[in-house]
Amino acid sequence: MAQLIVALDLPTAEEAERCIDELYETDVIFKIGLEGLCGYPERIFAHAEARDVRLFIDVKLHDIPRTVGAAMERLVRPNASIVNVHALGGSRMMHAAVDAAAHRAEQLGITRPEIFAVTMLTSMEQRDADELGIGGDIGGIAMRLAGIARSAGCDGAICSVHEVAALKAAYGGNFLALTPGIRPENAESHDQRRIATPRSAVAAGSDYIVVGRPILTAPDRLAATRAILDEIVEARA
C-alpha cells in the first residue's frame, strides 16, 4: 500500500516540531526539505528521533561523486528511511551515494535508507525542459533519468504521477515510485504543475505520496491527514 509522506515545509523549528507532535501517532513519514535542513537541522533531527518517527531527508544531493558520498554518510541515521539525490548528477554520482549509504549503515548497524533519485521536479513543465535544452518530452526525460538511477543502484525514482505507470511497466514493481505534487480534490496547486489526487496516485501505482500544504494549512491537521490516509486505503480496496 502507498505510504503517506507529510512535507514539513515550515519556517521554524517550533512549527515543525508541533506538526510532528500532532501527527506522529498516524505513522506517516515526515519529509525534511531544504527549508528545515538549512534552518534548523539538528533540532528537527533530535525531535524526530525523540518521537521515533521515520524521515525522508529531501536534500536532493547533486555534486561530484566524492562530495555526494561524504554528504550521504553524514545523513544516514537510524530514523532516516529515505534520502534523495538528483538524477541529473549522473550514474557515477548516484552509485557513490548508494555505496556511501550502505557503508555508513553497516557501521551503525542499521538498515540502509532507501535512495531515491529526483527525475524532473513536479514544479516543472514542458516549457521548462525546453528552456534548459533537455531534449524530448518531459515524461520521456523522467523515464530516461529513472532508468539511469535504477542502473546506478537507486531504490526508486521521484517523478510525477503521470510517469508512474510507464516507470512500473519499464522497470518493474520493485523499482519504487515516490510522487510529490499530491493534492486532494479542490486543493490549490500553488507552484506545483504536474499534480494529482491521492486516489489517482495510488491507482497509478505510487509507493509513496507527498502532501504538504493541504495538510500544513488545514484547520485540523490530524483530520486532514486521516482523510488522506482513508483515501489511500479506499483506493486500494
Instruction: Supply 31's cell numbers.
Output: 519529509
- The amino acid sitting at 124 is M
Catalytic residues: 60
Do 72 and 83 contact (CB within 8 A), yes or no? yes
Q: Which residues contact 173 (CB under 8 A, 6 or more apart)?
A: 205
Do 100 and 112 contact (CB within 8 A), yes or no? no
Dist. CA 139–CA 228, nearest whole Å: 26
Torsion of CA 64, 157, 174, 212, to 10 degrees: 130
- For residue 185, the tally of other CB atoms under 10 A from its CB is 9
For residue 54, the SS3 value is: strand
| Exposure on the CB side of residue 19, measured as CA atoms within 13 A | 29
Classify each residue of 118-141 as buried b or exposed e, where b means 16 or more C-beta atoms within 10 Å of its C-beta.
bbbbbebeeeebeeeebeeebbeb
Using only C-alpha atoms, the chain has a radius of gyration, in whole angstroms, of 17
- The amino acid sitting at 141 is I
